[in-house]
Structure 1
């Protein structure tokens, strides 16, 4: 396919892109968006470097197309032709648009857009390319806990955001708490589709269709939000979960699964496919004992994956327990210990994950340490925390 694909752009702009790309341009009318064949073409290995949505394409439709292209062809940049203002820029970036271009763009403006798209594509292809001589690493990371209220969704969303930042286009987060999942709230998302839609119809067996049902977070993370009602969530079966996780694991390097408390059939189905388990507990006697029981049960079922990461959340000195006591009860060392900190409720209430915001607080450093256990090349946490603020 061409280097540049324009849709609904005027002749002058097409000519400027032709000059900038050495003539490697295909120009289509807006009718190209009508039959749905565009996404199929973009999913091919020879997808264009740049898709330019001209002034003839409605802005809302442009943003919808950009979100789908960002999932189907992560190395393809989408440019929308429009007069920009700060609000429009924000909306465009959230939709997956990489550049806004004035209808009166000069040849220099066009060349700059093409240069940025080229750099972006090279960076993404370098990140997602397999290491020579080895198979690409595909990891299904299940985040689980024996009881609720221990910060499981906070850890899952931050872990997914951190992995998405480490490897753009690599990560999808699934909210598998089918009745009361709140991943969308934790990420301040207003999704168009949720888990039940993602496991029904054509989306249940066609990865291209499935990707159009994902919700994109501003960090580039893709999300399968939880059901918007318990009744709808009850319609999701373990077989649905199996198909969904299997399909996503073929399309994304990291599939992070946030589960309901305990060991539901949905959670056990996800664990059957897990390469990694992040098992989360709280620093109190019931929490530690529950964690030990869950470890024992999973061991008996043969569902403890080789990649096991024990995380203790809400650590502090006021409960009468020491970390050594916790580890003795568990019969295993803790991998990451997260202390109590005021940054956590603020993050939860604003819908901005700590790893999206960045910071030097000990919880952020601890979460970054967890990301590094799965993606060792991820940026190291800033500062030196005590052992309770990160990996042990």
Structure 2
């Protein structure tokens, strides 16, 4: 399976028949690429036409270099320079070629051969000791965007099917995960109640609702009254059973600190605390941090996400950090595209991977997955500012 991204409709039409015969799917932009790419984990090659924005290609390539190293990326440009080659190769682009059909065809064949060779490398099998990292997303006050963060984070961690992620809706009375992902569940967490004390892998799988490749969900009860039947022990049992089956488990919680939420927190490897720039939320997050201290949850495993960070409401980032009593790990901007994506039932990270909100969520996912992209960002900034400085003429000296 290969994908050709070409915004130019005339070129797309000209290549369409030839590309389809060769097994390519043509898409017009990055949004369509992400939709198609996420549904085809067997994809070996993505070709970016000359009209695709370079920054979008580099961001996509740098991310996939870690998630799907066998994926070949070919970049087509009307003009190939040394600076372009350096930045592309650093980001993981396999081939950079001129906009010439013969050159493109040869580059694609080479990239596919390398990808097939890398696929034959045997990946280490998942052992009994290999268990999922549990990430609990919590906010002490409703309306902070907690469910938006949880759903987008789960999709980001799934990385187009290269990882296995389970998203659990533990807001047992008013969970929104099903509606936010346009899922119509046949079963959910409430159906685990009769299995309490004897839940096994097959029982858990019978409760799961599949979402996209790499991402499953365990949904909240359709009837809020069922919440009372779900005990703390059952939550612990669900997590214990699920951990060997997944790479990550993302838990969306209620705003109240219930016994079930405490069970999730006690089992967590990461705690994502969502805060917004308003005084009631700052008060609740400060109390949450103090509660975490009392419960001895490690401070270095807490990631505080500052949602709507660019809102002009009279509170600076320094004010928020002082009120919270801890540094902010991720800044997520405010955008009307977020509620629009919620109303569509499609996480923004799927609909628009290059959106600033999507980039912030991917940064959070990288932290949870132990991936450090800071060196790459530093190199890009150095390259960018180096170009800017080089373009400036030296100031004229008064002494000359």
Question: Shared fold by TM > 0.5?
Answer: yes
* 2:347 matches 1:353: yes
User: Which position in structure 2 is the counterpart of 1:259?
Assistant: 253
* 2:245 matches 1:245: no
SS at match of 2:123: helix
SS at match of 1:257: strand
Aligned-residue offset at 1:128 = 6.2
User: Which position in structure 2 is the counterpart of 1:372?
Assistant: 366
Q: Does structure 2 retain, via aligned residues, the 8 Å contact 1:161–1:219?
A: no
Structure 1 CA distance, aligned partners of 2:256 and 2:329?
A: 21
Q: Does structure 1 retain, via aligned residues, the 8 Å contact 2:160–2:214?
A: no
User: Which position in structure 2 is the counterpart of 1:126?
Assistant: 123
Cα separation, partners in 2 of 1:172 and 1:379, compared to 1, 3 Å: farther
SS at match of 1:258: strand
User: Which position in structure 2 is the counterpart of 1:281?
Assistant: 275
Structure 2 CA distance, aligned partners of 1:367 and 1:123?
A: 32
* 2:125 matches 1:158: no
Structure 2 CA distance, aligned partners of 1:167 and 1:378?
A: 21
User: Which position in structure 2 is the counterpart of 1:302?
Assistant: 296
Cα separation, partners in 2 of 1:345 and 1:378, compared to 1, 3 Å: farther
Equivalent in 262, 266, 278 of residue 272 of structure 1: 266
Equivalent in 236, 239, 244 of residue 230 of structure 2: 236
Aligned-residue offset at 1:200 = 2.8
* 2:359 matches 1:362: no
SS at match of 1:312: strand
Aligned-residue offset at 1:163 = 0.9
User: Which position in structure 1 is the counterpart of 2:312?
Assistant: 318
Aligned-residue offset at 1:361 = 2.2
Equivalent in 329, 335, 339 of residue 335 of structure 1: 329
Q: Does structure 2 retain, via aligned residues, the 8 Å contact 1:127–1:167?
A: no
Q: Does structure 1 retain, via aligned residues, the 8 Å contact 2:195–2:203?
A: no
What do residues 106-126 of structure 1 show as CA deviations (whole Å, max 9, x unaligned)?
xxxxxxxxxxxxx7x958973
In the superposition, the TM-score normalised over structure 1's length comes to 0.62
In the superposition, the TM-score normalised over structure 2's length comes to 0.61
What do residues 92-116 of structure 1 show as CA deviations (whole Å, max 9, x unaligned)?
x999999xxxxxxxxxxxxxxxxxx
Q: Does structure 2 retain, via aligned residues, the 8 Å contact 1:94–1:217?
A: no
Write out the 4+ residue segments of structure 1 that deviate beyond 6 Å after TM superposition. Answer: 93-98, 382-386
Q: Does structure 2 retain, via aligned residues, the 8 Å contact 1:275–1:306?
A: no
Equivalent in 195, 200, 205 of residue 199 of structure 2: 205
Q: Does structure 2 retain, via aligned residues, the 8 Å contact 1:172–1:223?
A: yes
Structure 2 CA distance, aligned partners of 1:300 and 1:328?
A: 20
Q: Does structure 2 retain, via aligned residues, the 8 Å contact 1:203–1:210?
A: no
Equivalent in 165, 174, 192 of residue 186 of structure 2: 192
Please tell me whether Structure 1 or Structure 2 has the larger radius of gyration of its CA atoms: 2
Q: Does structure 2 retain, via aligned residues, the 8 Å contact 1:312–1:336?
A: yes
Structure 2 CA distance, aligned partners of 1:204 and 1:168?
A: 30
Cα separation, partners in 2 of 1:376 and 1:231, compared to 1, 3 Å: same
Structure 1 CA distance, aligned partners of 2:303 and 2:171?
A: 20
Aligned-residue offset at 1:307 = 1.7
Cα separation, partners in 2 of 1:337 and 1:212, compared to 1, 3 Å: same
Q: Which runs of 5+ in 1 are unaligned?
A: 1-92, 99-118, 387-392
Q: Does structure 2 retain, via aligned residues, the 8 Å contact 1:282–1:315?
A: yes
